[in-house]
Amino acid sequence: MGPTMIDISRETIFALASAPGPAGIAVFRVSGPRARHVAEIFDFRMPCARVASLRRLSVAGRQVDEGVVVWFDAPNSFTGEATVELSVHGGRAVYDSVFRALDHEEGFRPAVPGEFSRRAVLNGRLDLTAAEAINDLVNAETEAQQDLALQQMAGKLADQFNDFRKDVLAGRAQLEAYIDFTDQDLPGSVIEDVVPHLARLGREMRSFLDDGRRGERLRSGLRVAVVGRPNTGKSSFVNWLAERDVAIVSEHPGTTRDVLEVQLDLGGYPVIVADTAGLRAVSNPVEKEGIARAKSWAQNADLRIVMLDASDQKDIDDGSIQGLDPDLILVNKIDLEPLEVCRHGVLGISVTKEMGLAAAVAAMTGLAKGRLSWGGGPIMTRERHRSALTAAAAAVERAGGLLQNQDPIELAGEELRFASEALGRVTGHVDVEAVLDIVFRDFCIGK
């Protein structure tokens, strides 16, 4: 049963908000109309609101722990409901006894994933993009992801969508005034005002959409494929990057068949580097499949690093193999054969002798930064944001076209109504119930 089917105003929910132990501290969150009752369940005196207080927790006369209790009275809590946070010790027995005591209580039940944030949205404490940002911050693994989540949490993306929506509504208001005038003298200037307003708004929306999908890429990690002929040292390089033996390195060509992915933090930017099967003509069906996977991964990647062997002068002169357009060419094994060329985007390295590797990482970091840095302003982080804005921009453009064609004003007004609703759905101004399941789908319990 999904939480949308539950009368949320009546149930008191609880969950462990910290990661499962053993750990120094475990934080239980309890939210809902009966949250105050936690004091009776554990037989302590509820502290004053927002004052952290040490309390002994007992159940049926037996002490279960001693911990810090914080009471938040409604609506001054994360969810907007009465909330208690219990910071107890993070051990199995403590967890079990606290969980059981809460679960046993009439009107209490364990929270489903994302339910605290969901209630916060429904109670108007958070807009949907801020709730998404909280989830992003919890999952952030690099500094750039952290920066992105924090700026979205602060409301920058919501502000941008609200500004677009206000501009759409301003256009609509002008049109509505025009509709009311129809049997009197028409102020012709209205069209002259509205058409340029919509044209400018459409351009602003398109330019905001034209962001190279940095936000989405930053959330998921930039995909970097390492491709090249067999035995050039791809697996050696990826293992060196990962600081562990992810892939088998061997002097036998054609060892790597599956695509092996390694997550890295390059100067604060999240990158997924893939080691792939060496590209060559083969008849072995397993290696053939490996090569097909390598090519498809490389074609869909955000960046391609081609690995060449310093002894293969023909490939070095070509600069590309099998039509793959490289962003960076690494010529490996320069310990055996010095590299003659000095072309931009070509670096000589030796993985085994650790030559040129710092420069290779610096080049990769520069490329990642080029694709992912976004200047700190508002930026979309999900397909949900992008498809809504794309639909809104198209509707705004259609409205402008209708007005220019002297089509009935109502039709343009309808397009603008559609645009404002699409934008309003992103923040939760419109149809919040309908989008909740999409937004909270990947939350975990306790958030």
Ligand X SMILES: Nc1nc2c(ncn2[C@@H]2O[C@H](COP(=O)(O)OP(=O)(O)O)[C@@H](O)[C@H]2O)c(=O)[nH]1
Q: Which residues contact ligand X (rule: CB under 6 A)?
A: 230-236, 249-251, 255-256, 278, 332-333, 335-336, 350-353
Smallest distance from the beta carbon of 229 to Mg ion, in angstroms? 10
CB 385 within 8 A of CB 205: no
- Judged by beta carbon distances under 5 to 8 A according to partner kind, the member of Mg ion, ligand X, none in contact with residue 119 is none
Ramachandran angles phi, psi of 66, nearest 5°: -130, 135
| Backbone dihedral region for residue 61 (phi beyond 0: left; psi -120 to 50: alpha; all else: beta) | left
115/287 with CB nearer ligand X: 287
- Sign of the Cα torsion 15, 150, 437, 432 reads positive
β-strand 269-275 against 260-266: which pairing, if any?
antiparallel
The DSSP letter of residue 277 is: P
Please list every residue from 182 through 241 that binds Mg ion, using CB under 5 A. 234-235
37/234 with CB nearer Mg ion: 234
Report whether the peptide linkage leading into residue 113 is cis, meaning its omega lies within 30 degrees of zero. no
80/228 with CB nearer Mg ion: 228
Smallest distance from the beta carbon of 316 to ligand X, in angstroms? 15
- Judged by beta carbon distances under 5 to 8 A according to partner kind, the member of Mg ion, ligand X, none in contact with residue 194 is none
Smallest distance from the beta carbon of 360 to ligand X, in angstroms? 12
Q: Is 19 helix (H, G, I), strand (E, B) or coil?
A: coil
The Cα 346–Cα 319 span in angstroms is 8
Report residue 92 as tokens.
Answer: 């199995």
179/336 with CB nearer ligand X: 336
- Judged by beta carbon distances under 5 to 8 A according to partner kind, the member of Mg ion, ligand X, none in contact with residue 106 is none
- Interaction between residue 256 and Mg ion (CB under 5 A): yes
Report residue 406 as tokens.
Answer: 């002297």
Smallest distance from the beta carbon of 251 to ligand X, in angstroms? 4
- Judged by beta carbon distances under 5 to 8 A according to partner kind, the member of ligand X, Mg ion, none in contact with residue 326 is none
Smallest distance from the beta carbon of 228 to ligand X, in angstroms? 6
Which amino acid would we find at residue 113? P
Smallest distance from the beta carbon of 266 to ligand X, in angstroms? 20
82/360 with CB nearer ligand X: 360
8, 56, 64, 352, 446 from 52: Cα distances, Å: 27, 13, 19, 56, 20
Sheet strands side by side (includes 62-72):
53-59, 62-72, 83-90, 23-31, 12-16, 108-110
The Cα 367–Cα 304 span in angstroms is 10
97/235 with CB nearer ligand X: 235
Residues in the interface with Mg ion (CB under 5 A) total: 3
- Judged by beta carbon distances under 5 to 8 A according to partner kind, the member of Mg ion, ligand X, none in contact with residue 207 is none
Q: Is 342 helix (H, G, I), strand (E, B) or coil?
A: coil
Smallest distance from the beta carbon of 328 to Mg ion, in angstroms? 18
Q: Which stretch binds Mg ion (CB under 5 A): 189-197, 249-257, 404-412, 437-445?
A: 249-257
**Residue ranges that bind Mg ion, judged by CB under 5 A:** 234-235, 256
